Amino acid sequence: MLSLTQNLRKTELLLPQRSFSFNTDRKQNGDPIGPLAEGNSIIYIIYPQGVKKLLEFMNKNYRNPIIYITENGITEPKDNKLGLDAALKDPHRIENNLRHLYWINRAMKNGVNLKEYFHWALFDDYEWGDGCTLRFELNYIDYKNNLTRIPKESAKWLPKFLKG
């Protein structure tokens, strides 16, 4: 399961070439269900309770499958003017992770069979639609200094949180 947005897609195998797509990241009036992530990327909407809804939907409609969350995180724009000290401070990422993990925990208490959770991402990556203009990572990558990786506050927070 990829949890970066709230889009669902269903393909009916019994009907050739017929599919249904549901845009669930907008309200009926067209407004986003939550705030856009920094950088105003239109596909990254912050809606932590959506992960619980999606997990419980899958649990109910697919007979309690084993679920692996392979991506869950938040973006921010790559700001080359930002100093290193400021770049390592990411309280918004800690808050986002905390809120998502809270709702994931609630879903598990309601019987969702979640076996693995992988945070997105440890490092930056290349996004097909955005190139290298967004930062996703728990570790800061210094593009000007041999791609040196430096743990952000969120990288130090997450293992402590998971240990309890």
Q: How many residues does the chain have?
A: 164
pLDDT in tens, 10-54: 555 554 554 445 677 788 888 888 888 776 566 678 899 999 999
Q: From 3.40.50.300, 3.20.20.80, 3.20.20.300, 3.40.50.800, which CATH number describes the 2-163 domain?
A: 3.20.20.80
Please list the residues that pair with 150 across neighbouring strands.
140
Question: Taking 50 as the threshold, does the pLDDT of residue 162 lie above it?
Answer: yes
Indicate the range of 34-38, 42-46, 62-66, 73-77 predicted with least confidence.
42-46
CA–CA separation, 13 and 9 (whole Å): 13
pTM, full prediction: 0.79
Domain regions of the chain by residue span: 2-163
